[in-house]
């Protein structure tokens, strides 16, 4: 059984539980999506904080929202592995849940209405996680519903031609106007005729800022403003009126097997999309994202405040940048600072500085996958002025260590030219305050851990070559280890991997008007009872 990865504190980064299922493994999963947010749900799950988003409450029981995907010829056959989406939750409400059906249609139509009944339909009550059957959609959560391809009744058919409609249909009754989205947001506006009080679903469709024409569809009671009656399929841009603003691409994705069968002439990878003619080989472009589970290289763009008094500790600093990941470590120079997990988003975090001496410090941020960001001279701890003379204290000088200086080994011995890399340097006579160089490039964030071991950060950008590593004591004594480090694009005949893989990643995010809190990525797998 599968267990969704759970999150402890609000706004803490979430993890995507990567579990072994009974379904056959797929060689490469790719995500088809129209929205401009990260394709990897674990990245999206870190919390939407810096991207404009919109929620659309007001749905009544039986209505649906979805998207139309138009595969290219080389995409077939399409093996649908997952349906992934995010539902909004009303601001200030406790955890909101709902039961939905997932419907998949397949025909040669161009939408918005499919030509026939769904070729596959399943409800969220039929999925399992943590040993329990029935996994409702939870508000402000990134939901991943994975199909079990080991049993015919537990997965959609292989799509060999035509377009794919995916619809998420509401199964629950509408909620009270008083305690969910608010009276105005929970009504349906009837153009020119005032307000028709319909109530609304606990959970609402979530979109980003720009609508892709011919992609986002709805199956709603028509005309707009009525609460029951005949439903009609409409593209979102057809629904927008003066009083009802439907905006953006739905946060709804398809995870498909990105590698064609061995006996197929179709090219591997790929994704749906094409031109704008509305044919089954054309239509709105989608974004194709490889589901690698890896965040990008972190960066640090600023620290505020950039200085503080040594006598004012503890103090808080805010670090701004990109691609920050849950579980990251931060140091000022060699001193670890405490990251406040509840503040972490992909673009910033807060940290507490305490117990650090006066001086100017480099800031080093290391993600769990080993990728590093650094900012030279990012923060200065100002010395406390003497009460009488106004004099300054110094950051504390370090004496030369006992024994002769030597440098014996560097690990790794080969590093990528385009990545910041932490080096481990072994030798003897190392002391606090010493410096290291690779060729003429000074290493940053030097941390002397013992007289025989130090770590330091080698900034990216060195030309590919072999380099001598230098060690220099505060008194000027130097030692060198010739040809100790190779900078290359390939090591041992293979492209250098990105230090390590991590199952928990963070990424870009956004803040909707209703103050979306945190998003949790949960993976559930279909364990439906056999059909009669």
Domain annotation covers residue 410:
yes
The per-residue pLDDT for 1 is 22
Rounded CA gap, 105 and 109, in Å? 10
Domain annotation covers residue 401:
no
The answer on 152 and 117 residing in a single domain is yes
Query: Exposure of 117 by Cβ count < 10 A (0-12 exposed, 13-18 middle, 19+ buried)?
Result: exposed
Rounded CA gap, 352 and 369, in Å? 23
- Rounded alpha-carbon distances, angstroms, from residue 116 to 103, 113, 503: 12, 9, 40
The answer on 147 and 268 residing in a single domain is yes
Q: Which residues contact 388 (CB under 8 A, 6 or more apart)?
A: none
Model confidence over 68-85: pLDDT tens digits?
999 998 889 999 999 999
Answer yes or no: are the C-beta atoms of 117 and 55 closer than 8 Å: no
The answer on 339 and 238 residing in a single domain is no
Cα 482 from chain centroid (whole Å):
42
Q: How many CB atoms lie within 10 A of CB 305?
A: 11
The per-residue pLDDT for 179 is 55
Domain annotation covers residue 3:
no
The H-or-E segment that residue 237 falls in is: helix 236-239
The answer on 60 and 183 residing in a single domain is yes
Domain annotation covers residue 5:
no
The answer on 334 and 198 residing in a single domain is no
The answer on 211 and 118 residing in a single domain is yes
The single-letter DSSP state of residue 311 is G
DSSP 202-234: SEEEEE-SS--TTTEEEEEESSTT-SSS-EEEE
Rounded CA gap, 448 and 462, in Å? 23
Q: At 174, is the secondary structure helix, strand, or coil?
A: coil
The answer on 53 and 172 residing in a single domain is yes
The single-letter DSSP state of residue 263 is T
Answer yes or no: are the C-beta atoms of 487 and 90 closer than 8 Å: no
Model confidence over 90-130: pLDDT tens digits?
776 777 888 999 999 999 998 899 999 999 999 998 888 76
- Give the pairing type, strands 54-56 and 329-332: unpaired
The per-residue pLDDT for 40 is 77
Quote the domain boundaries for residue 103.
29-293+505-526
The answer on 347 and 479 residing in a single domain is no
CA nearest neighbour of 401 among 480, 482, 484, 479: 479
- Residue 419 tokens, joined: 């990545």
- Residue 485 tokens, joined: 């480090």
The answer on 125 and 80 residing in a single domain is yes
Rounded CA gap, 316 and 373, in Å? 20
The per-residue pLDDT for 68 is 96
Domain annotation covers residue 368:
yes
The H-or-E segment that residue 41 falls in is: helix 41-44
Query: Exposure of 386 by Cβ count < 10 A (0-12 exposed, 13-18 middle, 19+ buried)?
Result: exposed
The per-residue pLDDT for 26 is 43
Rounded CA gap, 291 and 288, in Å? 9
Low pLDDT (below 70) residues in the chain? 1-27, 42, 45-52, 92, 130-131, 176-197, 225, 240-246, 259-284, 289-295, 385-403, 492-522, 527-532
CA nearest neighbour of 41 among 7, 23, 69, 15: 15
Model confidence over 21-62: pLDDT tens digits?
233 344 478 899 998 787 777 677 655 555 667 777 777 888
Cα 323 from chain centroid (whole Å):
8
CATH number (domain holding residue 323) = 2.60.40.10
Answer yes or no: are the C-beta atoms of 405 and 428 closer than 8 Å: yes
The count of C-alpha atoms lying within 13 angstroms of the C-alpha of 250, restricted to the half-sphere facing its C-beta, is: 27
Answer yes or no: are the C-beta atoms of 355 and 280 closer than 8 Å: no
Domain annotation covers residue 99:
yes
- Rounded alpha-carbon distances, angstroms, from residue 499 to 183, 212, 230, 270, 372: 52, 37, 56, 27, 10
Domain annotation covers residue 459:
yes
The answer on 177 and 58 residing in a single domain is yes
- Give the pairing type, strands 372-382 and 307-309: parallel
Rounded CA gap, 522 and 520, in Å? 6
Rounded CA gap, 399 and 475, in Å? 9
Checking 282-286 for CB contacts under 8 A at 24+ apart, the result is 282/70, 283/68, 283/70, 283/110, 283/163, 283/214, 283/215, 284/34, 284/70, 284/212, 284/213, 284/214, 284/215, 285/212, 286/32, 286/33, 286/34, 286/69, 286/215
Domain annotation covers residue 147:
yes
The answer on 272 and 207 residing in a single domain is yes
The per-residue pLDDT for 258 is 74
The answer on 286 and 315 residing in a single domain is no
Answer yes or no: are the C-beta atoms of 142 and 127 closer than 8 Å: no
Q: Give me the number of domains the chain comprises.
A: 3
Rounded CA gap, 209 and 186, in Å? 21
Identify any residues that bridge with 219 across adjacent strands, giving them in sequence order: 64, 233
The single-letter DSSP state of residue 96 is -
Residue count of the chain: 532
The single-letter DSSP state of residue 326 is T
Residue carrying structure tokens 């498909």: 256
């Amino acid at each position: 059984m599968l267990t969704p990865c759970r999150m402890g504190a609000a706004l803490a980064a979430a993890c995507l539980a990567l579990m072994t299922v009974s379904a056959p493994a797929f060689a490469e999963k790719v995500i088809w999506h129209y929205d401009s947010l990260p394709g990897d749900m674990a990245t999206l799950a870190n919390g939407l904080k810096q991207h404009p988003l919109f929620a659309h409450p007001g749905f009544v029981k039986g209505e649906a929202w979805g998207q139309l995907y138009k595969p290219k010829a080389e995409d077939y056959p399409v093996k649908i592995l997952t349906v992934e989406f995010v539902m909004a939750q009303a601001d200030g409400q406790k955890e909101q849940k709902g039961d939905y059906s997932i419907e998949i249609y397949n025909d040669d139509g161009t939408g918005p209405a499919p030509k026939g009944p769904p070729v596959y339909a399943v409800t969220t009550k039929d999925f399992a996680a943590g040993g329990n059957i029935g996994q409702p959609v939870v508000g402000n959560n990134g939901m991943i519903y994975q199909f079990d391809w080991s049993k015919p009744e537990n997965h959609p058919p292989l799509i060999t031609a035509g377009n794919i409609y995916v619809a998420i249909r509401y199964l629950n009754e509408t909620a009270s106007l008083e305690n969910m989205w608010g009276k105005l947001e929970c009504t349906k506006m009837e153009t020119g005729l005032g307000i028709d009080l319909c109530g609304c679903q606990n959970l609402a469709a979530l979109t980003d800022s720009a609508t892709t024409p011919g992609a986002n569809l709805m199956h709603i009671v028509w005309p707009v403003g009525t609460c029951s009656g005949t439903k009609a399929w409409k593209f979102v841009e057809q629904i927008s009126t003066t009083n009802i603003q439907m905006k953006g691409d739905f946060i709804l994705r398809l995870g498909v097997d990105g590698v064609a069968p061995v006996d197929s002439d179709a090219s591997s990878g790929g994704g749906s999309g094409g031109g704008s003619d509305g044919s089954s080989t054309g239509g709105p472009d989608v974004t194709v994202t490889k589901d690698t589970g890896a965040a990008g290289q972190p960066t640090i763009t600023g620290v505020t405040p950039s200085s503080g008094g040594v006598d004012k500790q503890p103090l808080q600093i805010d670090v701004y940048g990109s691609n920050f990941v849950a579980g990251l470590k931060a140091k000022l120079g060699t001193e670890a600072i405490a990251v406040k997990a509840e503040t972490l988003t992909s673009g910033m975090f807060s940290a507490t500085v305490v117990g650090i001496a006066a001086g100017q410090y480099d800031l080093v941020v290391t993600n769990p996958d080993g990728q590093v960001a650094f900012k030279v001279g990012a923060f200065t701890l100002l010395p406390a002025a003497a009460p009488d003379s106004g004099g300054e204290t110094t950051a504390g000088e370090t004496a030369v260590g006992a024994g002769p200086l030597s440098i014996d080994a560097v690990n790794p011995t080969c590093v990528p030219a385009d990545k910041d890399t932490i080096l481990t340097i072994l030798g003897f006579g190392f002391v606090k305050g010493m410096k290291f160089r690779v060729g003429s490039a000074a290493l940053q964030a030097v941390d002397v851990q013992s007289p025989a071991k130090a770590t330091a950060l080698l900034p990216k950008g060195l030309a590919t070559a072999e380099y001598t590593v230098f060690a220099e004591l505060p008194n000027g004594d130097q030692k060198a280890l010739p040809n100790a480090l190779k900078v290359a694009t390939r090591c041992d005949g293979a492209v250098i991997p990105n230090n390590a893989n991590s199952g928990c990643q963070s990424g870009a995010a956004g803040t909707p008007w209703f103050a979306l809190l945190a998003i949790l990525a949960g993976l559930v797998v279909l364990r439906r009872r056999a059909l009669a």
